[in-house]
Amino acid sequence: GAARLAGITADEADGVLERAVARGLARREEEAIPSLGLDEKAIRKHHRYATILSDIEGGRVYEVAEGRTTEAAAGLLRDLPEAVRASIEAVAMDMWPAYIRAVTEQLPEASIVFDRFHVSKHLNEAVDKVRRGEHRALGAAGNLLLAGTKYQWLKTHGDMRLKSAIEFRELLAHDLQTGTAWSLKEMFRHCWSYRSPAWAMRFFDSWQESVKASGLKPMEKVAAMLADHASGLFNYLFFPITNAAAEGLNSMIQHLRVAARGLPRFETFRARILFHLGKLALHPA
């Protein structure tokens, strides 16, 4: 639409964007960035991804690479100016092994902080697996108690005394495996409130025992995964950062992808992301 208004071709419009981004990147100062975010974003069909490197405090996309491999993430970190690399204290990410390897190799002094919202996502998925299994078992006996309740189990519900939680309280009153899974998920939220690593570890050990006692395999699987990545969980106590800002940027990247209706070149898509979300000085001299 902009190309039509300006009387130029779409390729010429992309050239304007790419030159503006090149100017902005050349002008970018080597300022301290204490915390980074590494996240993935699906950019095309058939599992085509990009790795998004974001400045958490600055609320901007710092750089983008094609793919979500160790090489893609390591390349982004390797290309950071030395002054920026030296200032990085922590990197927020999910538990994707490729990103863990990249940060460990390229920023050995930085702390890896596993994003609490990704942890919540894993716990919610486990609760839903329990619900689906129990729904099938109850449905076979003609009991449709869990029908249409998926999203109620994914909520936190806050104050259970409120009228809006009446229906959910009635569900919890039944002796359901899904109710046990939901309670374990909610219990884990307390882990983020600790400030003492010793108390946080004590809570985590107690929570793990409760999960084992429940006998719920999906919850046990998530608990085992969290135990394997415990150091990254407890680093949140020292660096309370999340990828929440990156998730917001990802939402805007999705709008750019839809508006572009498919871009044949990754570099064109990268230029659009940095043009709109990189907070670069884009004006011509």
| pLDDT per position as a tens digit, 140-151 | 999 999 999 999
Residue-wise pLDDT for 133-180, tens only, equals 999 999 999 999 999 999 999 988 766 667 667 888 888 889 999 999
Residue-wise pLDDT for 4-57, tens only, equals 999 999 889 889 999 999 999 999 988 999 999 999 888 777 668 899 999 999
Residue-wise pLDDT for 73-129, tens only, equals 999 999 999 999 999 999 999 999 999 999 999 999 999 999 999 999 999 999 999
Structural contact between residues 93 and 103, judged by C-beta atoms closer than 8 angstroms: yes
Where residue 201 falls among pLDDT bands split at 50, 70, 90? Answer: very high
3-class secondary structure per residue, the chain: CHHHHHCCCHHHHHHHHHHHHHHHHHHCCCCCCCEEEEEEEEEECCCEEEEEEEECCCCEEEEEEECCCHHHHHHHHHCCCHHHHHHCCEEEECCCHHHHHHHHHHCCCCEEEECHHHHHHHHHHHHHHHHHHHHHHHHHCCCCCCCCCHHHHHCCCCCCCCHHHHHHHHHHHCCCHHHHHHHHHHHHHHHHHCCCHHHHHHHHHHHHHHHHHHCCHHHHHHHHHHHHCHHHHHHHHCCCCCCHHHHHHHHHHHHHHHHHCCCCCHHHHHHHHHHHHCCCCCCCC
Cβ-defined contacts of 150-157 (< 8 Å, 24+):
153/127, 153/128, 153/178, 153/181, 153/182, 154/124, 154/127, 154/128, 156/186, 156/189
For the segment 230-235, the average pLDDT, to the nearest whole number, is 94
- As a whole number of angstroms, the longest Cα–Cα distance in the chain is 74
The confidence score (pLDDT) of residue 150 equals: 93
The confidence score (pLDDT) of residue 170 equals: 87
> Does residue 241 have a pLDDT over 90?
yes
The confidence score (pLDDT) of residue 243 equals: 85
> Does residue 251 have a pLDDT over 90?
no
The confidence score (pLDDT) of residue 260 equals: 67
Question: The pTM is what?
Answer: 0.86
